[in-house]
Amino acid sequence: MALEYTLSIIKPDAVRKRLIGQIYSRFEKNALVVVIAKRVRLTREQAENFYNVHKERSFFPQLVAFMSSGPIMVQVLKAESAVSRNREIMGDTDPRRAKPGTLRADFATTIEENAVHGSDSIETAKKEIAFFFPEFSASCKDHPC
Ligand code: ATP
Ligand code: MG
């Protein structure tokens, strides 16, 4: 197992529901260390750029509108196998299919408003960390971000 970094977002629905503390508690219970974080509100253009990989999907306009609808909490998480560990505690994209005890099972409402985002691979994590925290990426010498 290798030490990894991954990008996590607490989405506008969960920030509105004041779930930042409970979600941070899940990170800490699962040995995911928050190493840098900020609360921001994305513009439409920033949301489009971040989810650019989904631009051809039918749900893209709604996804962009939702992600720019209110503040989000963005953090870099560090752990052994951080990418898969975070995806595991997040649960399935669709909260109806998410395993009990996962963030999406407990806190998400719908597949669109699903509480959290997590990078899906080490490569994606590098890009997503650089998107939100260029200064953190630039300072990485001894870790894979
Ligand atoms: P995320 O990238 O946000 O962590 P994910 O990797 O589980 O989620 P993706 O397939 O990357 O899922 O989809 C990105 C986001 O787009 C989802 O989190 C969800 O908000 C939205 N989305 C995905 N599939 C659908 C769908 N069928 N209908 C509506 N929205 C969807
Ligand atoms: Mg994804």
Q: What is the pLDDT along the chain (145 residues), one digit of tens a residue?
A: 789 999 999 999 999 999 999 999 999 999 999 999 999 999 999 999 999 999 999 999 999 999 999 999 999 999 999 999 999 999 999 999 999 999 999 999 999 999 999 999 999 999 999 999 999 887 776 665 5
Residue nearest to atom 7 of ligand 1 (CA): 93
- pTM for this entry: 0.95
Provide CB contacts within 8 A for 88, sequence distance 6+: 102
Q: Could you say which of 11, 26, 85, 117 is catalytic? A: 117
Residue nearest to atom 24 of ligand 1 (CA): 111
Q: Is 143 among the residues known to form the active site?
A: no
Q: Residue 61's Cα: distance from chain center in Å?
A: 19
Mutate to test the pocket of ligand 1, among 89, 93, 120 (most ligand atoms within 8 A of CB): 93
The residue written with tokens 């560090």 in the block is 78
Residues 3, 125 contacting (CB under 8 angstroms): no
